[in-house]
Amino acid sequence: MEVNLNEAYRLFPAFPVTLVTCGKYETTNIITIGMCHIFSFSPPLIGFGVAPKRHSFKLLKEHKEFVVNLPTKDLADAAMKCGSTSGKTTDKFRHAGLTKIPSKKVNTGSIKECPLRFECITKQEFVTGDHTWFVGEIVHCEAEEYRKEDLLLYWGGEFRVPGNVVMKRA
Ligand SMILES: Cc1cc2nc3c(=O)[nH]c(=O)nc-3n(C[C@H](O)[C@H](O)[C@H](O)COP(=O)(O)O)c2cc1C
């Protein structure tokens, strides 16, 4: 069966759901991002794609720091709210019932309810088709206790959680 090329990306297996916080601390915004990846181990680089029409796009261009917060499954509703409203008109911390806390190394808020928080300084930006990738160096990482199987994944319009281990790398 031939797949419509504009829909083919939806067949890719799960990406992590990330809640990226951006902008200055006082006005920190949250954007739900599915297009997120590790770009380098050393230096540790993490990046994500943002469409130019997002309010977060403007904030990321202006303020060269961000935090990649990883939510657990109990935050699925919050992730949907942060991914369907604009920070231009909505305080997403209030709207999604999330708590803003100071980050350790960057002047952007972090999300208390997320057990993994990667604080980054933007190092590169590049355009790929309809998204711009913001790649940042991880300058601090906070990890609270969490279970791998509770982290949220996104696959073709569905929120999922990781499944079973089938093999370990030698
Ligand atoms: C599960 C999910 C994944 C998303 N992934 C992306 C993404 O990778 N890049 C992007 O630009 N928008 C993505 N979005 C859409 C933005 O989160 C959404 O447009 C948001 O309202 C933008 O907020 P802002 O205007 O405050 O920046 C995603 C939304 C959801 C629900």
Find out whether 33 and 54 touch, Cβ atoms under 8 Å.
no
> Residue 35 corresponds to which tokens in the numbers above?
């297009």
User: Has residue 170 been placed in a domain?
Assistant: no
User: Has residue 116 been placed in a domain?
Assistant: yes
pLDDT in tens, 1-48: 999 999 999 999 889 999 999 999 999 999 999 999 999 999 999 999
Number of domains making up the chain: 1
pLDDT in tens, 99-129: 999 999 999 999 999 999 999 999 999 999 9
pLDDT of residue 14: 86
Identity (one letter) of the amino acid at 167? M
Mean pLDDT of 58-77: 98
Residues with CB under 6 A from ligand 1: 17, 29, 31-35, 49-51, 54-56, 80, 83-87, 154
Torsion of CA 164, 110, 19, 142, to 10 degrees: -20
Question: Could you tell me the residue range of the domain that residue 119 belongs to?
Answer: 15-160
Q: Give Cα 45 distance to the centre of its chain.
A: 14
User: Has residue 7 been placed in a domain?
Assistant: no
Residue indicated by tokens 């509703």: 77
The whole-chain average pLDDT of the chain stands at 97
